[in-house]
Homo-oligomer: A and B are copies of this chain.
Amino acid sequence: MSAPTAPKRRRATGRTTLAEVAQAAGVSPITVSRALRGERAVASELVTRVREAAERLGYVPDPAARALASSRSTQVAVLIPLLSNALFVDLLDAAQRSLLEAGYQSLIGVTHYRPDEEEALLRAYLMHRPAGLIVTGFDRTEAARRLIADSGVPCVHVMETHAEPGVYSVGFSQSDAGRAMTQCLLAHGRQRIAFVAAQLDPRTLQRASGYRQAMQLAGRHEPKRELLSPRPSSMALGAELFEQLMREQPDTDAIFFCNDDLAQGALLAALRLGIAVPARVAVAGFNDLTGSDQMLPALSTVRTPRAAIGREAARMLLGLIRGEQPAAPSLDLGYELVLRQSL
């Protein structure tokens, strides 16, 4: 009853292999591979036999072997600017969920709004031969653009839309949204409307340009009421910029913040300073982040469909991975003005 001596060159991992399933089912390995992936025509009787054998043996395909042999993986790289902005977390959460349901894992990458970091992440992740790619917006280095194109990996751009053959995107028009909220403030009788922004990423600047267009169209544009800070967005910064603006341009009668966290901070600062909102100054935000409906007064804002964007981007990407052509390469999911008491 001595233990069998191990053969010299063994290094099996112990897991059940496709070959073992094949033997158990009495077919060839290729047939098992095809039956399990549902690829090509396999006699339905064999499919059943293979499935049963796989089930019985607890067979789990090895993703590494699969990736090596097919040069495709089941991972999707998702690149977002920041994890500290709830906007992107919502998007990521929705995308991740949809991808997981379809059997794909998400490799997240945080670019910190820096094109060089994005390029480095792209380089690192692309060597993993991801099945697909989700990237934020269109603002990237030429090298990054080429990396994506040369990789041949299907790619969907999120948050903005862009009509160009071979480019896929899911988002909405940031400048339209910026224009719409500004026009709404104008329609409510506000005239000296300020725009306050932080971070100054491409999409923030698009909102700014929407604001500017609307103000110019109304003949009310005053550059002095634009307060643009490159610092990262936060409630604390919103409070600070609000105080600065009310000090420097005290006759401002409305403020459009490029993000809700700034606006929330401003609302709390107004409370501290005893500045009446909306009586003296109306306040509007962007994104309808959590808590905006709880503010005092409740914050008017632009609701953006980030969860839907994540979901639809995943759906579009899965189609591209299957080799399908999406109905529309650019999907505009729109936005919605949410008017609450701050206006």
Majority DSSP secondary structure for residues of A touching B: helix
With both beta carbons as reference points, the residue of chain B lying nearest to A77 in the complex is identified as B105
Q: A212 contacts the other chain (Cβ, under 8 Å)?
A: no
- Residues of chain B within 8 A of A89, CB atoms compared: 83-84, 89
- Residues of chain B within 8 A of A268, CB atoms compared: 294-296
Q: How far is the CA of A93 from the CA of B110 in the complex (A)?
A: 8
Of B60, B71, B92, B261, the residue contacting A127 (CB under 8 A) is B60
Contact B93 A127 (CB under 8 A): no
Q: How far is the CA of A202 from the CA of B61 in the complex (A)?
A: 34
Among A66-110, those with CB < 8 Å from B are 67-68, 71, 73, 75, 83-84, 86, 89-90, 92-93, 96-97, 100, 105-108, 110
Q: What is the total number of copies of this protein in its complex?
A: 2
Contact B84 A108 (CB under 8 A): no
Q: How far is the CA of A98 from the CA of B267 in the complex (A)?
A: 36
Q: A291 contacts the other chain (Cβ, under 8 Å)?
A: yes
- Residues of chain B within 8 A of A261, CB atoms compared: 290-291
Contact A63 B128 (CB under 8 A): yes
Q: How far is the CA of A67 from the CA of B129 in the complex (A)?
A: 13
Q: How far is the CA of A268 from the CA of B264 in the complex (A)?
A: 12
Q: A176 contacts the other chain (Cβ, under 8 Å)?
A: no
Of B61, B110, B272, the residue contacting A96 (CB under 8 A) is B110
Tell me the A residues contacting B by CB distance below 8 Å.
Answer: 13, 60-65, 67-68, 71, 73, 75, 83-84, 86, 89-90, 92-93, 96-97, 100, 105-108, 110, 124-125, 127-129, 234-236, 239, 261, 264-265, 268-269, 271-272, 290-291, 293-296
